[in-house]
Amino acid sequence: MAVEFEGGVVIGSDSRVSAGQSVVNRVMNKLSRLHDNVFCALSGSAADAQAVADVVDYQLDLHSIDMGGLPLVKAAANMVKDISYKYKEEMVAHLIVAGWDKSKGGQVYGTLGGMLIRQPFAVGGSGSTYIYGYVDSAYKKNMTKDDCHKFVANALSLAMNRDGSSGGVIYMVTITEKGTEDKVILGNELPQFFDDGL
Amino acid sequence: METLIMRQGFGVLPAQTETLAVLQVKRLPLRSYNEASRDPKSTPLLRRCSTDPGSGRVARTSGIAGSSDASVHVKLIVRGKMASLSVCQQSCGGFSFENCKRNALLESEFSKQGHYLPSARKTGTTICGVVYKDGVVLGADTRATEGMVVADKNCAKIHYISPNIYCCGAGTAADTEMTTQLISSNLELHSLSTGRLPRVATANRMLKQMLFRYQGYIGAALVLGGVDCTGPHLYSIYPHGSTDKLPYVTMGSGSLAAMAVFEDRYKEDMEEEEAKQLVRDAIAAGIFNDLGSGSNVDLCVITKNKIDYLRPHDLANKKGVRSGSYKYKRGTTGVVTKSVTQLDLEVIDEVVQTMDTS
């Protein structure tokens, strides 16, 4: 998921990669760097998502050299959207693009199915269905950076508790004018909620 | 076997092309064959036989329809010269569906006759890798299965990619073999071009991009490990093209058994002997608890300055010696009559053929 605040965005993901019933990687960082100021969160088929992220990483690199500066988040989202739309029948992957640029500040774009839509916050992946109610009720306008951290950590933790295909640790990246900050919340540090007796 | 079709001009290809496709049809009643030659529109025996002038290697048939009253035994022999080798075979578009129609037709025809096409030989397999203090240790079992039968009791699953990079392969044996050979070749050209020792990340990129292009139809699940100027690296690569970079990985049907051992005993910065023992134990867990894996343990230890390709490292399943003899004593069967006939054999011709064992 990703959420914007005044001056930047916070983007976060879980870390579980499964093949059938087996977890093949329990520490996968699903936040992929598209550029210094733009990251994307991967979901769906690992192969498709990684392939799209790699292609857009390359295209954005060229684009930013052509334009002589950091790319617009909308440009990155557009590239992801173009690929997602063109190959929408063949691929099963959803990338949420989020970042910071000088013209519009922090932005979050959803590209599900090949659309391009700017949202104050976006959730995606198999676990997202379990937390729509939570994020709709907990989101407030004009949150601070720390509020956003708590919001993302809580939402992801709730989803990881309920969804079988989500779990592991939480990776979070905060993107602002100054740059990026990484954070990892390990399994024992996750926010705790009702868990039937525990 | 008659080469009827050749003479009738169905399968003859212009002499300029470097390929020759010989189709041999056995016991074909004349009636259906004449019908085919008379009316090319109705169920022709051979629809089209074409060459690919670009590669100059393969002659493809796009359809073979056998009539139900003829027993058609079709054997396709391709003789061709290799066209000029292209440097660093680049991709050209997505998956090539050219042979799918022909393959489906052949398969249905064969099964109608009661024959079956050989199934792809899978390697069942337990493969794994671990990063330790000075480098990487890769391990693999040595059983190759074809359905429920062991096709090869001692096959080599650790493939060479470059002097400092090796790759274990699980899944379809031919796919892993060919894929690793292709990438090894391309990587060598790339390394000559850059003038540097290849990096593991480069091999990973090449493998994942090729496997993704084929959308999972190439059944190759790989564990890629090596040491380059940036240190030791270990990747697992799945048939659909996704990769994971981890300190320890397992793949194949025995991967769960091996992963259990790793999760219990893996530590960061192990010594070489400890790492080798850990990998050996993980593969052994796969060998003894998974039906698709068996026989011996092969190891490959890669460090900055040397490679130790230990094949076999551990003969876990040595064939035993029979404890009793089952031969019958002379006299167990009563002999009623005995007659000896001398056969007059003359040595007419003695030929010595040298075998090319290079």
Kindly state the average pLDDT of the residues B347-354: 89
- The residue of B222, B240, B242, B263 whose CB has the most chain A CBs within 10 angstroms, and thus the best one to mutate to test that interface, is B242
Catalytic residue among B19, B61, B125, B172: B125
* B208 lies within 8 A of chain A by CB: yes
> B125 an active-site residue?
yes
Does residue B50 have a pLDDT over 60?
no
Which residues of chain A neighbour B201 with C-beta distances below 8 Å? none
Does residue B309 have a pLDDT over 70?
yes
Q: Do A45 and B242 touch (CB under 8 A)?
A: yes
CB A53 within 8 A of CB A94: no
**B262-270: which pairs have CB atoms within 8 A and are 24 or more residues apart?**
B262/B128, B262/B130, B266/B130, B269/B132, B269/B133, B270/B130, B270/B132, B270/B133
Residue B149: which pLDDT band, with cuts at 50, 70 and 90?
A: confident
Best CA proximity match to A13, nearest among A49, A57, A59: A49
Does residue A63 have a pLDDT over 60?
yes
Q: Worst-scoring range by mean pLDDT, A133-137, B9-13, B281-285, B291-295?
A: B9-13
Kindly state the average pLDDT of the residues A139-144: 95
Does residue A135 have a pLDDT over 60?
yes
B76 exposed, middle or buried (CB, 10 Å; 0-12, 13-18, 19+)?
middle
Q: Do B244 and A25 touch (CB under 8 A)?
A: yes
What do you get for the CA distance between the two ends of chain B, in Å?
A: 34
Q: Do B208 and A50 touch (CB under 8 A)?
A: yes
State which H helix or E strand residue B176 sits in.
helix B173-194
Q: How far apart are CA A12 and CA A155, in angstroms?
A: 10
Residue B25: which pLDDT band, with cuts at 50, 70 and 90?
A: very low
Q: Do B246 and A25 touch (CB under 8 A)?
A: yes
Chain B contacts in chain A segment 23-82 (CB below 8 A): 24-25, 27-28, 45-51
Does residue A119 have a pLDDT over 80?
yes
Does residue A32 have a pLDDT over 80?
yes
The A121-122 sheet, strands edge to edge: A121-122, A2-5, A8-13, A170-176, A179-185
Residues 6+ apart with CB under 8 A from B319: none
Kindly state the average pLDDT of the residues A25-41: 96
The tokens for B182 are: 């292709």
ipTM of the complex: 0.86
Q: How far apart are CA A99 and CA A173, in angstroms?
A: 10
State which H helix or E strand residue B172 sits in.
none
Residues 6+ apart with CB under 8 A from A186: A169
Distance from CA of B242 to the nearest CA of A (A): 4
Which residues of chain A neighbour B209 with C-beta distances below 8 Å? 51
Q: How far apart are CA A59 and CA A56, in angstroms?
A: 5
The residues facing B289 across adjacent strands are: none
Kindly state the average pLDDT of the residues B221-240: 96
Distance from CA of A91 to the nearest CA of B (A): 10
Residue B22: which pLDDT band, with cuts at 50, 70 and 90?
A: very low
In the predicted model, what is the mean pLDDT of chain B? 78
The model's pTM is 0.71
Report pLDDT digits (tens) over B121-147: 665 799 999 999 999 999 999 998 888
CB B139 within 8 A of CB B282: yes
Best CA proximity match to A139, nearest among A115, A114, A122: A122
Annotate B188-247 with DSSP letters as a single string: HHHHHHHTSPPPHHHHHHHHHHHHHHTTT-S-EEEEEEEEETTEEEEEEE-TTS-EEE-S
Q: Do B238 and A19 touch (CB under 8 A)?
A: yes
Which residues of chain B neighbour A17 with C-beta distances below 8 Å? 242, 244
